[in-house]
Amino acid sequence: MLPNKKKAGILGKVRSRLSFRPMVYGYANARVRAMRPSLVARRQYEDLLKVHTNAAVAEYLSHTSYRNDFGSMPPKITDEERVELAISRNFARTAQKILRIAPTESKATLKAILSRYDVHNLKAVLLSKKLGKNIEEMRRLLVPAGDTSQKELEQIFNAGNADELYASIRGTEFGAKFLSSASIKRLPRAQIKLLFQNPSDEGKLELFLSSLDIYYYEMAASAVGAGEKDASIILGLLRSEADVKNITTAMRLKRGGADKKTGLEHFVGGGSRA
């Protein structure tokens, strides 16, 4: 027989574990459910399908929960770009709100998943530099839902040479972790700087960009706690995303005439076909 004091201690631990998730996640779940009315309803999608121009789509959405996201638009952009920018702003604000209200135990997983937008934004900056776009054109491509701030991304964009570009990427939290990861080891620092100096080297650029994707999927999967109740669901979503990424990569490389060995270098791990 256990002493009463020890028995009470064990029962207390069991009771706290049984009630822990509802208590911790109840508030966050309630806040997220309260955000559901902000989603575009099926009826509204049907209305959008009936309009014939991008201007009409923008006008319709500006009278929905997206109304504030259409404010302060850059001059001289198309209606399609207005819609894309408003949706991007709305998603970024929603993602950051969910991150703020999420329980501490889930923040690392959420931040890891949202880092896909650090990948997206860094790619947008590098490709904008390569294509000779101006800073305003580059800003329209950003989805500010990751950790890297717009100021940091603009510093990367404004880097004057390869050394400055490398240092500005490494100066961000995401960039420092990426450049120190195993995902980029196949491209030594000297080669990365050479690539930044000569971005017209399509092969090396593709390898660098695919390394970003590889890093994201490895990091996001490792951030999911093994003991989390929803771990299998999150990992399943990541596997599906990795499959989609690999399929689209294979199709793009096939169109470019890449051989099998080159193609395998660009595939991300963690998919069901890995």
CA distances, 114 to each of 23, 95, 127 (Å): 25, 8, 21
pLDDT at 15: 45
Q: How many domains, the chain?
A: 1
Structure tokens at 119: 């990948």
- Cα–Cα dist 47/38, whole Å: 16
Q: What is the pLDDT of residue 16?
A: 45
pLDDT for res 17: 46
Per the domain annotation, does 16 fall within a domain?
no
Domain of residue 180 covers: 108-274
Residue 264 lies in a domain: yes
The pLDDT of residue 273 is: 57
Residue 117 token pair = 């937008």
Q: Residue 174: inside a domain, yes or no?
A: yes
Structure tokens belonging to residue 156: 């990367």
Q: What is the pLDDT of residue 188?
A: 79
Give the whole-angstrom CA distance, residue 23 versus residue 208. 44
Regions in the chain scoring below 50 on pLDDT: 1-2, 7, 10-19
Closest-CA residue to 143 (of 173, 127, 171, 122):
122
**Which residues are CB-neighbours of 17 under 8 A, at least 6 positions away?**
none
What pLDDT does 152 receive?
96
Encoding tokens for residue 23? Answer: 């208590």
Let me know if residue 195 belongs to a domain: yes
Structural domain includes residue 237? yes
Residue 8: inside a domain: no
Sign for the pseudo-dihedral over CA of 64, 66, 71, 77: negative
Pairs from 68-73 (Cβ < 8 Å, separation ≥ 24) = 69/93
Q: Identify whether 137 is part of a domain.
A: yes
Contacts for 168-171: CB closer than 8 Å, 24+ residues apart: 169/122
Token pair listed for 133:
């776009």
Measured CA to CA, the distance from residue 157 to residue 64 in angstroms comes to 34
Looking at residue 173, its pLDDT comes to 94
Q: Which two tokens stand for residue 103?
A: 């329980």
Buried/exposed code over 14-30 (b: 16+ C-beta within 10 A; e: otherwise): eeeeeeeeeeebeeeee
With tokens 């309260």, the residue in question is 34
Tokens 């404010």 map to which residue?
71
pTM, rounded to two decimals: 0.77
Any domain includes 57: no
